Amino acid sequence: MSPRPGFVLEVDRSTPSTLFWHGERFSLERLPEGSRVIYAPEPVDPLKDPVAAIRSALSHPVGDRQPLPSLLRAGMKLTIAFDDISLPLPPMEQPDIRQMVIEQVLDMAAEAGVDDVALIVALALHRRMTEAELRHAIGDRIYDAFAPNGLLTQHDAEDADALVHLGLTDQGEDVEINKRAAESDLLVYVNINLVAMDGGHKSVATGLASYKSLRHHHNPLTMQKSRSFMDQHRSELHSSNWRMGRLIAASGVTVFQIETTLNNDTFPPAFGFLQKREWEWGAKDRLGYLASSKALDRTPARLARQIFHSVKAPHRMTSVQAGEVEAVHALTTQHVWDQQGVEVTGQTDILTMGLPYISPYNVNSILNPILVACLGLGYFFNLYRGKPLVREGGVVIMSHPTPWEFNPVHHPSYIDFFEEVLSETTDPIEVADRFEESFASDPWYIHLYRTGHAYHGVHPFYMWYWCAHALQHLGAVVVVGGDKAAVHRLGFRAASTLSDALEMAEDVVGRSPTLTHLHAPPVLMADVK
Amino acid sequence: MKALVFERNLPRFAASRVASAFGSGRGAGIGPLQLLDADQPGLPGTDWFHLRPLLSGICGSDLATLDGRSSRYFEDMVSFPFVPGHEVVGVLDDGGVDHDGAPLAPGARAVIEPVLGCAPRHIRPLCPQCATGHSGLCGNVAFGALEPGLQTGYCADTGGGWSTAGLAAHASQLHAVPETFSDEDAVVVEPAACAVHAVLSAGIASGDTVAVVGAGTLGLAVVAALHRVTGAVADCTLMVGAKHPHQRDLSDSLGADIVVPPDQLARAVRRHVGSLVLAGRLTNGADVVFDCVGTSESVSQSLAMVRPRGRVVLVGMPGRISIDLAPLWHRELSLVGAYAYGDEGPAPASPDGDPTAIAEPRRTFELAIELVGAAGLGSLVTASYPLERYQEAIAHAGAAGRRGAVKVVFDLRSRKGTTR
C-alpha cells in the first residue's frame, strides 16, 4: 500500500485532542472547532538497496559530469566533504547515509589508485563534531583510516592559511572557501537533504566558507527577502549561494555533488504515536502516549533531555543523485517535496506549533531560548511555498518550556548574545548593525570555535536573522508554557495555557480568528495556495 | 531614653550566629544586642560635644558584628558594652566646634567622621598616619584617653548612633550638614566617604575598564563616586554586577555604562575588553575591580576578572575567607583594602592615576558631602524604623536587596517607622 499524502484536517466536535510537542514533553490540546491541522505525508518507501542505488548514482551522474570512476585517477588530489552534526534530525540509526555514500566513493577511489584523499566536515561556523559523533556519522572503519593520519579534518573558517579567496560575484560577494577543497582535482560533496533549504550550491558555498563569505547572505536583509528560504526560487539566501557556487565552478573547482533524501520515519516504534494522526491512534498508541507523558512529567528536565537526545531516528534513504550541482539539486528538491509537501488552501490568522527538543544546532545539547525562537520562527514558520501559512499581521503561538538555560561549551556566545544584545534590542537589523562585528571578531569565541566544540561567536546572530522574515511579517508571537523572563527577553508574549494564548492572540487578530496547527515533526512543507 | 546596647555575652553571641545562618540579621532578637534604658554618655574632654542622633544607618559591618561573622581581628579594637551606629546625622543641641575649628551653633546638624584616631584620644604627638591625614589607618585606636574602639559605634565611652540618648563626638569628627541637605542625604555621607576614598585610592587612569562587584549602598556609592569625584572616569567604561532589579536601575541612573547580574559580570568584562579565558581567569580583564561585597565568592570573582597587574580594591568589609592566591602571585595582581577616610590627594595613589582628580588635599568627608548633594544619594535611604522595632529593622537590612531596599536606617526623630 503506498503511503498516504499529507492531510489538512478540519477540527469538528468529534475530533480528538491534538498532540503538541513541548520540548522534551508533549500534551494533548483541544483546538477550537473549525481549526485546521496539517499532517505530514506518511513515510515514503525507502530504497530497497541503498548501496546499489548509491553506486548507480555515482556511475550515472546527472548534468554536465562524467561518472565518478572516470573522474578518479592515480596521483590526483581528492577531497570528500560532508554535512555535519546538524543533519539529519534526529541523528539516524547506523549506518548513517554519510557512511554509506563515502564508503562507495572511497571504494571507487581505491580502485582508481587515488591515494591523496582527505575528508572534511563542512561545518561552516557550526561547532566541531566530537569523535563519537564522527564515528556515528561515517563509521569506525573510515574514521580509523583517516583521523589518526590527520586526513579527517573539520573545516576551520578562521584558519586564514587554510582558506582561499576565489573572487567576487557580480554582486560583489566575497567567495572564500576551504583551500584544500578548492585546490583539489575533485571535490566530492556528500549531502543529506532533510529540508528543502539544504543542498545545492549551499553545500560548498556555505559549508566550506569563511565568515567573510557567509556574511553576504547570512544577514537580516537577505533573510527578509527569502520568502521562504525553504523555496529556492524565492530565496535570496539561495540566490546568493547560487552566485557563489557558479563562481566556485568558474574558478576551476570541480564539484561532484552527491545528494540524498530521507523519508520522514522520524521516531522509533516506542514513540510511534508521534507520527500518527490522533484519530487513528490504537490502544498501543494511547498507552504509549500516556506512559511516556506521565513518565516524562516525573523526569527531571536534564534527564529527559538525555533520553531524547539518545533517540536515533529510523530514517531511510529515499533517493540518491549525483553529478553536477544544479542538476542534482533539482532532483533532490523534487524528492523532498514528494515526502514533505502538503497542499493548503488559504492563510490563517493564528498558526500554532508545538516545538520539539531538537533543532539543527542543539544536537546533544540544550535548545536554548534563541534556538527556540529560531526553530519556531526560522524553521517552522518558513516551511511553506507560495505564501506563509499565517497571514501578515497574524500570530504564531509556539509551545515550548523555553528555559533560560544554555550549554556553555556549545553556545558560549549565545549566552552573551542573550544578555548583552537582546536586552538592548530584538530588531534584527539593529542587532546586526550594532553588535555583529564585535561578536564575530571576539578572539575568545574564535578560540573556542577552532579548538573546542563551540559554535562561532556570530552564530546566535544568524539564528536571530533566521527569524527576521517572521518578525517582520507577524503581529505577535506567543509562547505557551515558557520561562516568562526568557520569553520576554526574546520580545515575545508568555502564556500559561493554550487558551490564554488564544485570548492574547485575539487581541491582535480580532475575534473569531482562523487557526491552523502545524503538526510537526515529522517535517512537512505547506504549499499554500 | 533608649539605646541599643551590644554586650559581651557569649551564649547570646552563639545564638545570634546560629540564627544568622537563616539570613543576615535574623538573630537580632536573641543576640547580644538589647534595647535598654540609657543615659547620655559623658564627655571625655572639653573638645567633645553631645550629638543627638536624628537618623543612623545600619551598615554591612554592623550586620556582620550582629551576625557573629566579623573577623576576630577586630576583637582588640572594640570595648563593651557599646552602642552601634557609626553612620549618623544628629543635632548639636548645645552647639560645638567642627573639624576645622569653626563654631557650630546650638541646634546645628552635623554628621560624624567616626574614626577614633589620635585626636579624639588626645594622643600627642599624632601617629604618622594621623599626622599625614590618614586617620583611618591610625594605630592608636585601642589607646589613649578612650576605651578601645576603632570607630564611634564600637567604643564603650562614646555611645553610638542607635540611641535616643545621644553620643559624644570629638570636634575632629564633626562636619556641618549643608542647609539644603535632608537628614536622609546626611546619613549616607559616611558610606559615601568610604566610596570616595576607595575610588581615589584605586589609581584609575583614563580609558580604564572599571568593574564594581555588588550594588548595595557601598557599590552604588562607588558608582556615583567614580563618575563625580574622579576626573579620569569620563573616558572609562564602568561595569556593575547588580543582583536585584532596583539595584540595576540605580546603577544605571548613577552612571554605570553596563549593568548585569553578578554572575554575568565576568562575561561582560571579557566581552568588553576582548579577552581570552585561561584557567578560569581573564587574560586581559578589567583594570580595576571594586569588590563591594567582601565574601570569598566576590573576592575570587574579582581576582578572576581583573587584568594582569590590575588592582582589586576591597571596599566591602571581608572576614576570614579562603581564596587561591596562586593566580594573584602569577598575574602580579594588587589586592588592596580601602577603609574609611581621612585626607585625599593631591598626589595620585598610583603612578598611572589621574593627577587632576584632587588638586589640593581635602577631607574625604568634604568630598563625600559634595558627592551626596550632586548625586542625590539620599534617595538610597529606602526604609526607616524606630529603635523599638530594631529586630525588624535589622532583619530588613540583612535582606535589603531581596526586599527592594538599599539603606535601612533608625529614625530617632519620631516613634513612627516609614518605608519608601
DSSP 8-class letter at A415 = H
Question: Would you state the cell numbers that stand for residue B385, as one nine-digit string?
Answer: 524604623
| Structure confidence by residue, pLDDT tens digits, A137-163 | 999 999 999 999 999 999 999 999 999
The answer to whether B218 and B191 have CB atoms below 8 angstroms apart is yes
**How far, in whole angstroms, is CA A154 from its chain's centroid?**
19
**How far, in whole angstroms, is CA B178 from its chain's centroid?**
21
Chain B residues touching A443 at Cβ < 8 A: 274-276
Chain A residues touching B264 at Cβ < 8 A: 419
Chain B residues touching A451 at Cβ < 8 A: none
pLDDT score at B231:
65
Q: With an 8 Å Cβ cutoff, is A438 touching chain B?
A: yes
Please tell me the pTM assigned to this model. 0.88
* Residue showing cell 552635623: B110
A420:B276 CB<8 A? no
Most B CBs within 10 A among A405, A406, A420, A424, hence the mutation to make, goes to: A420
Q: Judging by beta carbons within 10 Å of its beta carbon (0-12, 13-18, 19+), is residue B49 exposed, middle or buried?
A: buried
Average pLDDT score, chain A: 97
C-alpha closest to that of A257 among A199, A208, A189, A314: A189
Q: CA of A423: which chain B residue's CA is closest?
A: B260
Q: Give the whole-angstrom CA distance, residue B204 versus residue B226.
A: 9
Q: At what angle do helices B364-375 and B217-228 cross, to 10 degrees?
A: 90
B276:A438 CB<8 A? no
pLDDT score at B359:
66
Q: With an 8 Å Cβ cutoff, is A436 touching chain B?
A: no
Asked whether residue A258 carries a pLDDT value surpassing 60, the answer given is yes
Percent of residues, chain A, with pLDDT higher than 70: 100
Out of B264, B274, B275, whose CB is closest to A419? Answer: B264
| Structure confidence by residue, pLDDT tens digits, A34-80 | 999 999 999 999 999 999 999 999 999 999 999 999 999 999 999 99
C-alpha closest to that of A358 among A129, A57, A89: A89
Closest-CA distance, A442 to chain B, in angstroms, reads 6
| pLDDT in single tens digits along all 420 residues of chain B | 999 999 987 877 787 778 777 778 777 777 889 999 999 999 999 999 999 999 999 999 999 998 888 888 998 999 999 999 999 999 999 999 999 999 999 999 999 999 999 999 999 999 999 999 999 999 999 999 999 999 999 999 999 999 999 999 999 999 999 999 999 999 999 999 999 999 999 999 999 999 999 999 999 999 999 988 876 667 899 999 999 999 999 999 999 999 999 999 999 999 999 999 999 999 999 999 999 999 999 999 999 999 999 999 999 999 888 999 999 999 999 999 999 999 998 644 444 445 445 667 899 999 999 999 999 999 999 999 999 999 999 999 999 999 999 999 999 996 444 444
Q: CA of B270: which chain A residue's CA is closest?
A: A444
Q: With an 8 Å Cβ cutoff, is A451 touching chain B?
A: no
Closest-CA distance, B288 to chain A, in angstroms, reads 21
C-alpha closest to that of A385 among A340, A351, A435, A349: A340
DSSP 8-class letter at A274 = G
B268:A416 CB<8 A? yes
Query: Hey, which bits of B171-305 come out as E strands?
Result: 174-176, 209-213, 237-241, 258-260, 277-278, 281-282, 286-291
B270:A444 CB<8 A? yes
DSSP 8-class letter at A92 = B
pLDDT score at B84:
97
Question: Would you state the cell numbers that stand for residue A203, as one nine-digit string?
Answer: 553545500
The answer to whether B305 and B330 have CB atoms below 8 angstroms apart is no
| Structure confidence by residue, pLDDT tens digits, A180-202 | 999 999 999 999 999 999 999 99
User: C-alpha dihedral over A145, A149, A154, A158, to 10 degrees?
Assistant: -170
Q: CA of A445: which chain B residue's CA is closest?
A: B276
**Mean pLDDT over residues A113-132, rounded?**
98
pLDDT score at B346:
67
Q: ∠B322-B327-B332 over CA atoms, to 5°?
A: 120
Out of B271, B274, B276, whose CB is closest to A420? Answer: B271
pLDDT score at A117:
98
ipTM of the complex: 0.81
Q: Give the whole-angstrom CA distance, residue B204 versus residue B352.
A: 7
**Phi, psi (5° rounding) for residue A78?**
-115, 130
Chain B residues touching A415 at Cβ < 8 A: 267
Count of helices and strands (H, E) across chain A: 22, 20
Chain B positions with Cβ closer than 8 Å to A: 260, 264, 267-268, 270-271, 274-277
Q: Give the whole-angstrom CA distance, residue B1 versus residue B163.
A: 8
B268:A419 CB<8 A? yes
Helix (H, G, I), strand (E, B) or coil at A95: coil
Confidence of residue A235 (pLDDT cuts 50, 70, 90): very high
pLDDT score at B357:
54
Question: How many CB atoms sit inside 10 A of residue B245's CB?
Answer: 10
Most A CBs within 10 A among B265, B276, B282, B283, hence the mutation to make, goes to: B276
**How far, in whole angstroms, is CA A196 from its chain's centroid?**
9
Out of B260, B274, B277, whose CB is closest to A419? Answer: B260
Q: At what angle do helices B262-273 and B296-305 cross, to 10 degrees?
A: 10
Q: Which of A87-101, A375-389, B16-30 has the lowest mean pLDDT?
A: B16-30
Q: Judging by beta carbons within 10 Å of its beta carbon (0-12, 13-18, 19+), is residue A491 exposed, middle or buried?
A: middle
| Structure confidence by residue, pLDDT tens digits, A327-373 | 999 999 999 999 999 999 999 999 999 999 999 999 999 999 999 99
Q: How many CB pairs under 8 A join A and B?
A: 23
**Phi, psi (5° rounding) for residue B303?**
-65, -30
The answer to whether B313 and B202 have CB atoms below 8 angstroms apart is yes
Question: Would you state the cell numbers that stand for residue A394, as one nine-digit string?
Answer: 497574524
Q: With an 8 Å Cβ cutoff, is A424 touching chain B?
A: no
A416:B275 CB<8 A? no
**Phi, psi (5° rounding) for residue B253?**
-70, -25
Q: At what angle do helices B390-398 and B60-67 cross, to 10 degrees?
A: 110
Q: With an 8 Å Cβ cutoff, is A420 touching chain B?
A: yes
Strand order of the β-sheet with B334-337 is B258-260, B237-241, B209-213, B286-291, B306-314, B334-337
Q: Give the whole-angstrom CA distance, residue B251 versus residue A52.
A: 68
- If residue A414 lies in a helix (H) or strand (E), which one and from where to where? helix A412-416
Identify the residue with better confidence: A414 or B416.
A414
The answer to whether B316 and B212 have CB atoms below 8 angstroms apart is no
Alpha carbons within 13 A on the beta-carbon side of B252: 9
The answer to whether A64 and A324 have CB atoms below 8 angstroms apart is yes
A442:B274 CB<8 A? yes
- Considering the domain delimited by A7-43+340-528, tell me its CATH architecture: Alpha-Beta Complex (3.90)
Per-residue b/e over B123-156, b at no fewer than 16 CB within 10 Å? beeebebbeebbbbbbebbbebebbbbbbbbbbb
Q: With an 8 Å Cβ cutoff, is A416 touching chain B?
A: yes
Q: With an 8 Å Cβ cutoff, is A306 touching chain B?
A: no
- Catalogue all structural domains in chain B, each as residue range(s) with its CATH number: 2-177+378-419 (3.90.180.10), 192-375 (3.40.50.720)
Q: Give the whole-angstrom CA distance, residue A434 versus residue A274.
A: 42
Identify the residue with better confidence: A290 or B27.
A290
Give one word for A429, left, alpha or beta, with left for phi > 0 and alpha for psi -120 to 50: alpha
pLDDT score at A184:
98
**How far, in whole angstroms, is CA A502 from its chain's centroid?**
29
